[in-house]
Amino acid sequence: MNFTKGIVLLLAVACIAMFAAGCTSSKTTTTPSSTPAPAEPAAASGAAASAPVAATTTKSCVDASGKGVWTASWDTYYGDRCQDNRHHFFPATQDNPNPWTNTVATEWNLQGTMTQNNCDVTGSMKVVGNIVNENCPVTLTGTVDGTSVKGTWKAFCDLTTSTMTDTKDDSGTFTIYMNPENNGFIGVFQGNSKDVADRAAECPNQNGNWAGKKV
């Protein structure tokens, strides 16, 4: 009986030894040499493959035929900031026979051209009929905004745009509006000096000291 128990005990020890040997021989230990790179996300397909691109539009200031209505030769008159020079080109009507106010003799004739390139307008004019400033060059640079052009002017002489103190400027600003027929304009031509601004405050509703007509 003791002999049998001994055999069973030896067999049990042998089995345990074989089991332990099998476990250690099948187990392997690896030392990572580097951290694996993360997997790249799968590429999107179809409409989601790229972000939508916003549509871009270019503002156009020309008419339906592709022309710039400000491109023309012009005959114009400007005067004192509170003067109305519409009477040169736009006659009074029967319904409104005498709309012109502050029409005085102090006025200057500018003749020349304007050229419109999309929304940009440039002009080249000269003073005529004025002994002091005869043939004085005046340049214009402006931007179309609907039916108007707003910009600056530069003269190569001193021009009077306020007779209140006989102020003279060689530069200033202008805002002009095209009429519905696209052949004439009315607006403001003024210098940069403070006297001009003071003069304009005396006639806040007067915006017609510069008038022009295509020739």
Among the residue ranges 93-97, 156-160, 197-201, the one predicted with the least confidence is 93-97
Q: What's the pLDDT score for residue 124?
A: 98
Tens digit of each residue's pLDDT (9 = 90 or more) over 50-104 = 555 555 556 789 877 778 999 999 999 998 888 888 888 887 777 666 677 766 6
More confident call, 2 vs 58: 58
Q: What's the pLDDT score for residue 95?
A: 66
Residue 32 sits at φ, ψ, to 5 deg, of -65, 135
Q: What's the pLDDT score for residue 44?
A: 47
Q: What's the pLDDT score for residue 85?
A: 87
The whole-number average pLDDT for the span 103-119 is 89
pLDDT-based confidence at residue 205 (cuts at 50, 70, 90): confident
Global pTM reads: 0.70
What b/e string do you get for 38-54 counting C-beta neighbours within 10 Å, with b at 16 or more? eeeeeeeeeeeeeeeee
Q: Is the dihedral of CA 193, 186, 94, 106 positive or negative?
A: positive
Q: What's the pLDDT score for residue 57?
A: 53
pLDDT-based confidence at residue 164 (cuts at 50, 70, 90): confident
Tens digit of each residue's pLDDT (9 = 90 or more) over 121-154 = 999 999 998 888 999 999 999 999 999 999 999 9
Report DSSP letters for 156-208, one per residue.
EEEEEEETTTTEEEEEEEEEEEE-TTSSEEEEEEEESSHHHHHHHHT-TT---
- Read off the DSSP letter of residue 48: G
Quick one: what percent of the chain has pLDDT higher than 70?
Answer: 68
The whole-number average pLDDT for the span 110-130 is 96
**Confidence check: pLDDT of 23 > 90:** no
The whole-number average pLDDT for the span 167-186 is 94
Average pLDDT of the chain is: 79
